[in-house]
Structure 1
Amino acid sequence: MKKQELIKKLQDIEWQDFEVKEAKSAVPKNSWETVSAFCNTSGGWLIFGVSKKGKEYSVTGVDNPEKIEHDFLTALRSDKINRKIKVEAKKYSLEGKSVLAFNIPSVYPKDKPVYFNTLSNTFIRTGSGDQRATKEEIDALYRNSSFDKKDEEPTQYTFKDLDKETITRYRTYLKSIEPEHRYNEVSAERMLELMRVIVNGKVTIGGALVFGTEEVVNRAISDFRVEYLEVMGKSFADAQNRYDYRMPVQKNLYEYYFSIFEKLLKHINIPFKLKGFSRDENQPQVIAIREALVNLLMHTDYFSNAKPRIRILSDRIEFFNPGSLPKDLKYILKEEFSMPRNNTIARIFRTIKLSENIGSGFHKMFHGWTSYYKRKPKVDGDFDYYKIMF
């Protein structure tokens, strides 16, 4: 039978991904590859009692479903897997035969990688198959495991190594929007200590990326840059030139934010509206793009070989984020969920009100863009990246 027919018979399951094993009389050995792959990527359903040949699915049934279910669930809580995995188990009767279905969850970033027996048995899901993870992919999973801690690590640098011009600009901006803020009453160095940009006299990685000189930033993260490209076509292949504009390297993330945001504003519609006696530029579609930009800077895995990238194409704006989302998007949108990859960077931008503190950033992106352009942004991704398209 076709895959669609099987899904129809199991219609109470919300299928996100799908793998079948014959499992006639025992738990198949390659089941652990699928468990690892689902846990490390987006989760999915593992079905015992169904075989696949080409595009055809056949119900073969499980001879002793109680024993196989017990053996499988027991193994998931044993030392065979490096993490205890809690799954949802269901039993079905199809064509008079027993079929077992197990919902394998995607685990939190801090619990990855999930593997069986040895680290080399780390798998990821690509398309509809399980693939052994490369060293680079395993490294990315480990970086995800320190999801909100990496940018809090200290560097060798102190306050005197930071870019004084950037710090002055930051303090001036803060005073203009929050004249009564307590940080305005203390020295620049003390402000950075209170914000935990400087801890025990040492600048954190996140602090170096936002406030560092170009030399400091490039020592903290080799080959550091945020790519901003304007392409006159729907793709590189469609464009006459590979790109019509590429932003020059900026010295730190604070400079990148304002340089990129100024460019982005030229590519969205901003109708003239008055707010009091001045033009209102804080409109929903502007807020959506601003949140997307700050989201990129707060959530990027700066130690990835990939670079954060913004592409302006003729029919869309793309924000490419190295590093995965902390949870599935549907849960982020359902809850007021906030877990930035880079806590220090998030704190710096939130202090000057360029980002939300209560997990509503994605809501503002989706609501703001949809309310003006009448279409929702699209989000695509995997265990080591995600991309938002407006």
Structure 2
Amino acid sequence: MELAMSFKNGDYKLEESQRLEFKEAAAGLPDDLWESYSAFANTEGGEIVLGVHEDKASHEYSSVGVSEAAKLVDAIWSIARDPRRVSQDILLADGVSVISRDGLDFVVIDVPRADRSEKPIEVYEKRQKKFVAYVRRGSGDHRATAYDIDGMRYDKTPKADRSPLEEFSLEALCQETIQKYRRVFSAVKQNSPWNSDSDEDFLYHIGAVAKGHDGMLHPTRAGLLAFGFEYEITSYIPQFLLDYREETSEDIRWEDRVCSESGDWSGNIIDFYFLVSERLIRHFKSPFFTNEMGTRHGSKNPVTEALNEGVANAVIHAHYGTAASVKVILGSEQLEITNTGGFLIDRDVAIAGGFSEARNPTLMRMMNFIGASDRAGSGLQDIWSTWSDAFGCEPVLTESYHPSMVKLVLPVFSGMGGPAARYVPGKYDEAILGLSEQSQGGVTIEQVSGRLDISERVAQKSLKRLFEAKKLNRFRDGHRFRYVPYDTRA
């Protein structure tokens, strides 16, 4: 995501990008200027610069400037405020300016990212005689797809995830998930009067169910996502997918996986969060204390808390539309957390903290009740602070399009997470060799981690080193390896 490219600030190249568009304006305002206005407003925002010529053959740009810049500025303001041409004027008071550079005048239109309540920003298409919305894809403006429009309209609906889904009964919700959630809720909020509620009353209080037009209780959108069975959720959102994979080994595709469509667990958001949190705590074992659910309350492990915050942030802010997914992939060098849906506020504002804008406010409320999210808007700020202070590096947060996706990348190279998570070649060789000799069936990464009280990452690197040194042999056992003394037939 190119945040630094700015013609106004002088930090730019003569090439178009996600946030920078050039137009010549030799014969007045070009008609396609408003396509770019709509595209920037509906995406990340950006600058439209008038006074730059594009050679159609070479696609190279050159500065030519504009004549009568003041008239162009007046024309821009006139059209931007005309409801017959533009659905809404979102330009700030200083949003159109004239900049002189190398003896040439340029007009710069600084288009902000539209607020969720304002989207979609549409412009009148003369040829089709109707209003049309555009989105920015790299260096081009494109007609918004039905998926794009659906996402914008969902985001502008207040409390959209609190609406009852009358086609579902309470039987669509998993009782085991509800009871697990209630146990954590009661531990976190011991004095809440809701702890003595019936399940129906409790679900009503947290926003998981609501009364429909028939006077009966039905799951809300948030309630179905949080507590529903996967087959019920996918009957409503066909492409719904929650996926966690551990891909830390070069030898096999993945060592562990939690997938909502596997059919051996509920497949809902609450269980997904608990299952992933449990694995992250185990994988990034450290000398700090972390409670069993990995929630913020009572935990003293900043690493796992930051990781859990990243997962909670993804499931809360994902767009659960036509293509709805949250993916968490743990690799050997980084943890990637991806969710469908774009940013609701600028990236820098989100990282700075202090401002919270949830796509699914009811779901956020549910997660907050069990300490799994920060409604104060400091979640990303805490992640950045942890990685910067403890590990000397920063995460990477990016936005991509078609479909809209947000990806958070957390470097997890060796040396992170305290002494128990730090890999020192040879440190555990003797202990691991002893374990392999004592076990008739060989040892796994998980067993070495548990017996030696080290992280699974350190265990995996140590076992791999011993295998490559021909001190251990190994054989496949399902999706993982078992390691045995080298003279044992594998």
TM-score (normalizing by structure 2): 0.70
Confirm or deny: 8 A CA contact 2:244 2:327 kept in the other structure.
yes
* Distance in 2 (alpha carbons) for counterparts of 1:167 and 1:212: 9
Q: Are 2:183 and 1:172 aligned? A: yes
Give CA deviations for 1:253-282 in whole Å, capped at 9, x if unaligned: 1111111111222443x421369xxx9853
Give 1:127 shift: 1.8
Cα distance change, pair 217–126 in 1 and its aligned pair in 2 (3 A) = closer
Of residues 93, 107, 110 in structure 2, which corresponds to 1:103? 110
Greater mean alpha carbon deviation, residues 315-324 or residues 29-38: 29-38
Of residues 109, 119, 141 in structure 1, which corresponds to 2:152? 141
Of residues 296, 302, 312 in structure 2, which corresponds to 1:294? 312
Confirm or deny: 8 A CA contact 2:237 2:322 kept in the other structure.
no
Confirm or deny: 8 A CA contact 1:25 1:68 kept in the other structure.
no
Q: Are 2:167 and 1:154 aligned? A: no
Supply the AA of the counterpart residue of 1:134. T
Supply the AA of the counterpart residue of 1:24. A
Confirm or deny: 8 A CA contact 1:309 1:320 kept in the other structure.
yes
What corresponds to 1:72 in structure 2? 76
What corresponds to 2:380 in structure 1? 362
Confirm or deny: 8 A CA contact 1:205 1:220 kept in the other structure.
no
Confirm or deny: 8 A CA contact 1:158 1:198 kept in the other structure.
no
* Distance in 2 (alpha carbons) for counterparts of 1:208 and 1:80: 41
Give 1:101 shift: 1.1
Supply the AA of the counterpart residue of 1:150. A
Q: Are 2:240 and 1:224 aligned? A: yes
Greater mean alpha carbon deviation, residues 43-52 or residues 110-119: 110-119
* Distance in 1 (alpha carbons) for counterparts of 2:180 and 2:134: 46
* Distance in 1 (alpha carbons) for counterparts of 2:44 and 2:307: 26
What corresponds to 1:83 in structure 2? 88
What corresponds to 1:3 in structure 2? none
Supply the AA of the counterpart residue of 1:65. A
* Distance in 2 (alpha carbons) for counterparts of 1:191 and 1:9: 54
Give 1:122 shift: 2.5
Cα distance change, pair 58–273 in 1 and its aligned pair in 2 (3 A) = closer
* Distance in 2 (alpha carbons) for counterparts of 1:372 and 1:173: 29
Confirm or deny: 8 A CA contact 2:353 2:381 kept in the other structure.
no
Supply the AA of the counterpart residue of 1:85. I
Q: Are 2:302 and 1:263 aligned? A: no
Give 1:230 shift: 2.1
Cα distance change, pair 240–36 in 1 and its aligned pair in 2 (3 A) = farther
Cα distance change, pair 9–344 in 1 and its aligned pair in 2 (3 A) = closer
Give 1:74 shift: 1.0
- Report the secondary structure of 1:42's partner residue: coil
Q: Are 2:321 and 1:303 aligned? A: yes
Confirm or deny: 8 A CA contact 2:6 2:20 kept in the other structure.
no
Supply the AA of the counterpart residue of 2:136. R
Give 1:294 shift: 0.7
What corresponds to 1:44 in structure 2? 46
- Report the secondary structure of 1:362's partner residue: helix
Cα distance change, pair 56–248 in 1 and its aligned pair in 2 (3 A) = closer
Cα distance change, pair 376–95 in 1 and its aligned pair in 2 (3 A) = closer
* Distance in 1 (alpha carbons) for counterparts of 2:47 and 2:391: 36
Give 1:183-332 correspondences, 5 Å limit.
Answer: 183-200=194-211, 201-232=217-248, 241-249=252-260, 250-251=265-266, 252-268=268-284, 270-273=285-288, 282-332=300-350
* Distance in 1 (alpha carbons) for counterparts of 2:52 and 2:191: 66
* Distance in 2 (alpha carbons) for counterparts of 1:105 and 1:211: 37
Give CA deviations for 1:336-362 in whole Å, capped at 9, x if unaligned: 111211112111111111211211111
Give 1:13 shift: 9.2
Give 1:109 shift: 2.4
Confirm or deny: 8 A CA contact 1:318 1:387 kept in the other structure.
yes
* Distance in 1 (alpha carbons) for counterparts of 2:70 and 2:174: 65
What corresponds to 1:345 in structure 2? 363
- Report the secondary structure of 2:110's partner residue: strand
Cα distance change, pair 131–220 in 1 and its aligned pair in 2 (3 A) = closer
* Distance in 2 (alpha carbons) for counterparts of 1:321 and 1:223: 13
Instruction: Return the index of the structure with the highest Cα Rg.
Output: 2
Work out the percentage of aligned pairs sharing the same amino acid: 26
What corresponds to 2:119 in structure 1? 112
* Distance in 1 (alpha carbons) for counterparts of 2:333 and 2:253: 16
Greater mean alpha carbon deviation, residues 58-67 or residues 71-80: 58-67
Cα distance change, pair 63–259 in 1 and its aligned pair in 2 (3 A) = same
Give CA deviations for 1:16-65 in whole Å, capped at 9, x if unaligned: 82211111241011111211111111111111122133464433222211
What corresponds to 1:130 in structure 2? 141
Give CA deviations for 1:82-119 in whole Å, capped at 9, x if unaligned: 12231412212233332111111110123222221156
Greater mean alpha carbon deviation, residues 136-145 or residues 105-114: 136-145
Instruction: Return the structure number with greater relative CO, CA threshold 8 A, min gap 6.
Output: 1
What corresponds to 2:475 in structure 1? none
Cα distance change, pair 363–117 in 1 and its aligned pair in 2 (3 A) = same
Greater mean alpha carbon deviation, residues 134-143 or residues 352-361: 134-143
Supply the AA of the counterpart residue of 1:90. S
Give 1:231 shift: 2.1
Cα distance change, pair 16–135 in 1 and its aligned pair in 2 (3 A) = closer
Cα distance change, pair 66–289 in 1 and its aligned pair in 2 (3 A) = same
* Distance in 2 (alpha carbons) for counterparts of 1:115 and 1:8: 25
Of residues 55, 60, 63 in structure 1, which corresponds to 2:64? 60
Supply the AA of the counterpart residue of 2:161. D
Confirm or deny: 8 A CA contact 2:280 2:304 kept in the other structure.
no
Supply the AA of the counterpart residue of 1:187. S
* Distance in 1 (alpha carbons) for counterparts of 2:80 and 2:165: 40
Give 1:316 shift: 0.6
TM-score (normalizing by structure 1): 0.87
* Distance in 2 (alpha carbons) for counterparts of 1:10 and 1:209: 44
Supply the AA of the counterpart residue of 2:236. A
Confirm or deny: 8 A CA contact 2:38 2:135 kept in the other structure.
yes
Q: Work out the number of aligned pairs and report it.
A: 375
What corresponds to 2:23 in structure 1? 21
Confirm or deny: 8 A CA contact 2:161 2:222 kept in the other structure.
yes
Cα distance change, pair 307–248 in 1 and its aligned pair in 2 (3 A) = closer
* Distance in 2 (alpha carbons) for counterparts of 1:32 and 1:313: 43
